[in-house]
Each structure stands twice: as C-alpha cells, then as structure tokens.
Amino acid sequence: MGKVIQIFKIPELRKKIFFVLAILVIFRVTAAIPMPGVDTAQLEAFFAQNQLLGLVSVFTGGTLQNFSVVLLGLGPYITAVIIMQLLTMIFPNLRELWMESGSEGRAKFNQYGRVLTVPLAALQSFAMISLLRNQGIIGALTTFELVSTIATVTAGAVFLMWLGELISEKGLGNGISLLIFAGIIAALPPAVAQAFVVFDQTQLVSYLAFAVVAVAVIVGVVIISEGQRNIPIAFARQVRGRRVFGGFSSHIPLRVNQAGVMPIIFALSLLLFPGMIAQFLSNVKVAFVANAATALASWLQNNVVYAVLYFVLVMLFTYFYTTVTFDPKVISENVQKQGGFVPGIRPGPPTAGFLSHVLNRITLVGALFLGAVAVLPLIVQGALGLTTLTIGGTALLIVVSVAIETLRQIEAQLTMREYEGF
C-alpha cells in the first residue's frame, strides 16, 4: 500500500499512469464501434466454430468478433515488425540500422515498419471482408462500399498502432503489449460469465482442476519471467597519472525468457494468415484451388496439427527474438572496450562464444515453457472436457508477463527518483 501511495505522490509518474489509462479507455471505446451491415448472430456462430479466429478475436479484445472499426487489432503492425526483423537477417545494412546506428537508426527502422503496416492492413482487411462475405455474414458490397470499408479498417489498424506507440513513448512499458493486455482483460469477464452460464455440477472437478492449472501457470510465469543467470564481469584496474580507474566487478543478466511474450504474439499473428487465406480461397471458382484451400483449412482446424504448429512457431520465435534483441558479439565487444572480461574466459570472440553458449542453453528452457503454455488450452480442453475458458494458458502468460514488466518499469522509476533525492 505504501508503494501505491508513493507512486501517486510523484507528479510525473502519476501523470504517466493516468495517460496510459486514458489511452486504454480510448482503445476500448473504439473497439465497441461496429461496422454497419453485419449479421451479428451469424458472425458469433462463425467465430465459435473457427478455433483460430476465435482465439485471435480474444486477443484483440473482441474487436474481430464484433467487426468493429479496429477489427484487425494490432495484427498488421505485429506482422510488419516480424517482416522487418526477418529482413535484418537477410540485409546487413538493415541489421546495422537496427543494431548499431543508435536512436536515429532505430527510429528510421521503426518508421519502415509503420509504412509497411498500411498495405498489410489493407490486404488483411480485404481478406477478412471477403471471407465474411463468402460466409454470408456480410451482404453484397458496391465498389465504393468495399473501398470505404477497407479504408476504415486500415485507418483503425494504424490508429491502434499510434496509440501503442504513444504509450511506449510517453507512458510506462511496451504500448503494444499493454493494448493486447487490455484486450485480454476485457474479454475474460464475458468468457467467465459464459462458463458459469453453462456450468454443470458434474464438471465441478474439472473446473477445480482448471483453477489449479491456472494458479500453476501464474506461478510458473512469474518464476520464468524473473529467472536469470548472472555472468560475472571483472574490470581491470587502470592507473592514469595519480588516479586509479576500474578494479570493480559487475555482471551481465541473461534472462531465462529474454523474449518476453513476443513469441506468443508473433506465432498467433503468423498462424492466422494460412487459415484466413485458405478459407478465402475455398470459395473461388477454380476447382483445383478451391479443393486445395478447403483441404488446407480442414488440416489447420485439426487440434493436433494446430498444437504442433503453434508449439514449434513459439519455440522458433523465442530463439529468433532473443537473437535479435541480444547479440553476444556486440556485448562482448562493449565489455572489452570498457576493459572488462569474464573471469576464466579470454576477451573478444571467446567471450562472445561463451555468452552465446550460455544463452542458447537457458533460452531452451524458456522456449519449452512458452511452447507448453501456448498449447495448454488444447491440453486442458482434451483432458478435462471443458469447451469454455480454453484460452487460459496463453492469456494468463501474456497478462502476468505484461503486469510484471509494467511493475518493473514503475519500480525502476521509483528507484531513479530515490537516487535523485540523494
């Protein structure tokens, strides 16, 4: 309680918190504004039958299922970020812009991602509108209505991207993660209410087991999020004239889950594309294409296939995002320039190899945990026979991880102001 009082006593920190809350309120208001001409009953039934789209709708806070003006959520922006970061592995100049060019280079790199978001949002909105029109959920649209709908949905996606970046720039924590967090929190009460509506006393043991699993996931997320290995760094003493510099020790913290919740978000965004495109192409007039698309859509709807793909993608993105955000070579060079070294390891390439070896080993634990939590809803559904609350594992992972990261940011702000007091 003392921490909460201390937070609201600091004007700047209080202003940041209220700013973030105001942005989240704006997000929820826009998520409640529907697009016209949609059969809501058919739309609800369609998302109930489509597992992947239903799950993605939950992470957008119901914007997809409500067919709101921001129905795509942050999907196009996240996809643009994935594409840009993949391109850094192909084009050295782009990687240099991302890793080594300082704040100006990072700002330019991020600008490319924002520009790429616009065509991706237009493409995704056209695919989603065509899919719902083929399902009879949306009536026939004139060319003007189609263009205006695509423009509105694209503008909604860009608007959410702007809100997320406003939070990152002026608020606390990662704005994209906080908006997804808000979407999940907004979707959980209806899901819980629905679970109680269809509650059956014969399933009491299953519900209790689900609660135990939820608590275990929360504990596991906290342990993995906070777990890290500290690599000791020693700095040699340097004598310059009559002054002595260095001669102290520090450490490099290597977190077990260096990537945070981004692998889950990336995997979900990537899994959405094949299913959406397959369902869109299943109604074309070319028989071969329609049959192939129908077969692909049916294959992706298989729980086992979906779980395997999801697990593999989460593990791959965990390693990929860790590689992008933490470069052992750059870290070892910076340590060497400052006159530091890892005890027992030669500076330079041997230190980079050592850091890479340790990072790969501890990232494996984090990747396996993230993958297990990602497919946990399907395991729970199969083992307990529950058709509700099946988003538990992934939703809890994102909610708890984002909450921990936000609290860490607030704690850092408090610590910084305590030092300023000295």
Quick one: pLDDT at residue 422?
41
CATH number for 325: 1.10.3370.10
Q: Residue 53: is its pLDDT beyond 60?
A: yes
Average pLDDT of the segment spanning 369-394: 67
Amino acid symbol at 156: G
Residue 273: Cβ-neighbour burial (10 angstroms; 0-12, 13-18, 19+): middle
Quick one: pLDDT at residue 269?
72
262-281 vs 102-134: helix crossing angle, rounded to 10: 30
Quick one: pLDDT at residue 99?
67
Instruction: Quote the percentage of the chain above a pLDDT of 70.
Output: 77
Spatial neighbors of 43 by CB under 8 A, at least 6 apart, are 65, 67, 132, 137
H-helix or E-strand spanning residue 233: strand 228-235
Quick one: pLDDT at residue 100?
59
DSSP secondary structure letters along 369-399: HHHHHHHHHHHHHHHH---SSTTHHHHHHHH
Residue 233 Rama label (left phi>0; alpha psi -120 to 50; beta): beta
Quick one: pLDDT at residue 58?
61
Q: In this predicted model, what pLDDT tens digit does every residue of 254-264 receive, in sequence order?
A: 888 887 777 87
Q: In this predicted model, what pLDDT tens digit does every residue of 218-254 receive, in sequence order?
A: 888 788 878 888 888 887 666 665 665 556 677 888 8
* CB neighbourhood size of 371 (10 A): 23
Average pLDDT of the segment spanning 368-390: 69
102-134 vs 143-170: helix crossing angle, rounded to 10: 150
For residues 274 and 300, the answer to whether their CB atoms sit within 8 Å is yes
Q: What angle do CA 366, 367, 370 make, to 5 degrees?
A: 85
Can you tell me which residue has the tokens 């909610």? 399
CA–CA dist 134, 196 (Å, integer): 34
Q: Dihedral (C-alpha) 113, 114, 115, 121: value to the nearest 10 degrees?
A: 100
* CB neighbourhood size of 347 (10 A): 16
Q: What is the tally of structural domains in the chain?
A: 1
Quick one: pLDDT at residue 385?
58
Question: Average pLDDT, whole number, for the chain?
Answer: 77
DSSP state, 69?
A: T
Can you tell me which residue has the tokens 């909450």? 403
Amino acid symbol at 364: L
Q: How does residue 288 score in pLDDT terms, banded at 50, 70 and 90?
A: confident
Q: Residue 139: is its pLDDT beyond 80?
A: no
Can you tell me which residue has the tokens 């084009």? 91
Higher pLDDT, 101 or 96: 96
Quick one: pLDDT at residue 56?
65
> 44-48, 120-124, 165-169, 384-388: which range is least confident on average?
384-388
Quick one: pLDDT at residue 118?
92
Of 207-216, 346-355, 412-421, the range with the highest mean pLDDT is 346-355
Question: Residue 45 belongs to what domain range?
Answer: 2-421
Give the predicted TM-score (pTM) of the model.
Answer: 0.75
Longest dimension (CA), the chain: 85
